[in-house]
Amino acid sequence: MQKDMRVVVTGIGAITPIGHNVHDYWQALVQGVSGADRITRFDASRYRTQFACELKDYQPTDFFTRKELKKLDRYVQYALLAADESIAGASLQVPELNPGRVGVVWGTGVGGLQSMEGEMRSFIASATHTPQFSPFAVPTMIANMAGGHIAIKHGFTGPNVTTVSACASAANAIIHAAHLIQLGHVDLVISGGSEAPIAPICVGGFNAMRALSERNDSPQTASRPFDRDRDGFVLGEGAGALVLESYAHAQQRGAPIYAELVGSGMTADAYHITAPHPAGLGAQRAMEQALANAGKLPEAVDYINLHGTSTLLGDISEVKAIQQTFLAHAHRLAMSATKSMTGHLLGAAGAIEAVTTVLALQHQCIPPTINHFTADDTFDTQLDFTFNQAQPRPLEVALSNTFGFGGHNTCIAFQRWVD
Active-site residue identified among 149, 154, 167, 372: 167
Q: CA-to-CA distance for 278 and 224, rounded, in angstroms?
A: 20
CB-based burial, 144-169: b 16+ in 10 Å, e otherwise? bbbbbbbbeebebebbbbbbbbbbbb
Alpha helix segments (H runs only) across 218-295: 247-252, 281-294
Of 42, 32, 125, 116, give the one whose Cα is nearest residue 75. 116
167 carries an active-site annotation: yes
Considering Cα of 165, then 212, then 335, then 277, what sign does the dihedral take?
Answer: negative
Q: How far is CA 105 from the centre of its chain?
A: 14
129 carries an active-site annotation: no
CB 15 within 8 A of CB 30: no
Q: How far is CA 3 from the centre of its chain?
A: 27
Identify the H or E element spanning 135: none
Identify the H or E element spanning 41: none
Contact residues for 115 (Cβ-Cβ < 8 A; gap 6+):
73, 137, 140, 141
Query: First and final CA of the chain: distance in angstroms?
Result: 29
Q: How many CA atoms lie within 13 A of 299 on its CB side?
A: 1
Alpha helix segments (H runs only) across 307-400: 312-326, 339-342, 349-363
Neighbours of 254 (CB within 10 A): 7
Active-site residue identified among 344, 365, 372, 408: 344
Q: How far is CA 195 from the centre of its chain?
A: 9
Active-site residue identified among 154, 307, 372, 408: 307
List active site positions. 167, 307, 344
